[in-house]
Amino acid sequence: MENMIELKEITKEFKVLNRREGLKGSFQDLFSRDYKIVRAVDHISLSVKPGEIVGFLGPNGAGKSTTIKMMTGVLEPTSGELLVNGRIPYKNRTQNSQEIGVVFGQRSQLWWALPLIESFKLLKDIYQIPQEEYDGMMELYAKLVNFDEILHKPVRQMSLGQRTLSDILAAFLHNPKVVFLDEPTIGLDVAMKSKIRELILELNKQKHTTVILTTHDMGDVDALCERIVIIDKGKMLYDNDIVHLRKFFGAYRTLKIRPREKMDVMVEDLTKELEMMDVRISHDDEWVFLLVNEEKTSVLKVLGLIQEKHKIKDMQLEEISTEDVIKKIYKEGI
Ligand SMILES: Nc1ncnc2c1ncn2[C@@H]1O[C@H](COP(=O)(O)OP(=O)(O)OP(=O)(O)O)[C@@H](O)[C@H]1O
Ligand SMILES: [Mg+2]
């Protein structure tokens, strides 16, 4: 079989109640209901090969989770064709669940009151994982994560990070062909995020598992995804690798400046002039970030302009970040 996942012109519409405003509206709603159709996913086509890691990006409400729910068989598409591992997911839910693993944000599939090891044993029975395979997975997991910390802990006593880690281990336990992760690193600290990313990468490599994930975290994209799919308002805006995407914006570089004087004074003073040069300015507590389009103006010119009026403590020059690339695409399209 060629592709692990195949979407052809997939569309999902929801019928939602159009609520009328105010008390009068609420009464009207009781008697006559006024529905509208929301198109959450709009003719998306996509093929994913075995072993790929694909990241789904897009603003809130873009249709990422809805697309994943169709691929896992939870939702039926309104129209279009969809195959996962050669099967129609919502028509073969039992078989399908044998071949996929799912982690959906904050909702755990583990047994809350049980120590993790007991959940694993239950999953072993449910998925009928042969003893040898199960032992092999346990051995692999013990190498990849700090098992002592979590294995005998009831899930409800775990930190969010430990629970996410456990959820991911559970999703891979029966060695599924595809694992779907909806925002796997949301709410985690930097160290745990990088642990989770390493784990996903390693499992993908060792087991050749296809991984589909959604994220708002550009760190996830940089660490995990060779290929990204950008969705906005249900439509696919982009499907290619991240390197290719950066090439679109090859002319952009970020100049980072640490001012000697007060941050807001400098930013306020420069914003207007820089915007006229098509330079986007932003800042955090320490640095001012200037996104410069070198086709329009040079970094040196921008630096010169700043130094005319302001004293600088430190500066750095960086290629455009993934974050900036994505921001520009959301704002301006491709
Ligand atoms: N069960 C539902 N009933 C009605 N509308 C829905 C339903 N599920 C999703 N939608 C709508 O479909 C659109 C896409 O939602 P979806 O959850 O797929 O977005 P998302 O890309 O995952 O966003 P986020 O980044 O916020 O998680 C939204 O407008 C949402 O309100
Ligand atoms: Mg979502």
Per-residue pLDDT tens digits for 66-81: 999 999 999 999 999 9
Report the C-alpha gap between 124 and 326 in whole angstroms.
Answer: 40
Ligand 1, atom nearest to 15 Cα: 4
Considering only residues 98 and 18, tell me which one the structure prediction assigns the higher pLDDT: 98
Whole-prediction pTM: 0.81
Cα(182) to centroid(ligand 1), Å: 13
CATH classification of 5-246 is 3.40.50.300, yes or no? yes
pLDDT for 99 equals: 92
* Same CATH fold assignment for domains 5-246 and 249-332: no
CA of 82 to the centre of ligand 1 (A): 19
Does the C-beta of 37 come closer than 6 Å to ligand 1?
no
Ligand 1 close to Cβ of residue 166 (< 6 A): no
Q: Which ligand is nearest to the CA of 62?
A: 1
Q: How far is the CA of 80 from the centre of ligand 2 (A)?
A: 21
CATH number of 249-332: 3.30.2130.10
All structural domains of the chain with their residue ranges: 5-246, 249-332
- Per-residue model confidence as pLDDT tens digits over 202-240: 999 999 999 999 998 888 988 999 899 999 999 999 898
pLDDT in tens, 155-197: 999 999 999 999 999 999 999 999 999 999 998 999 999 999 9
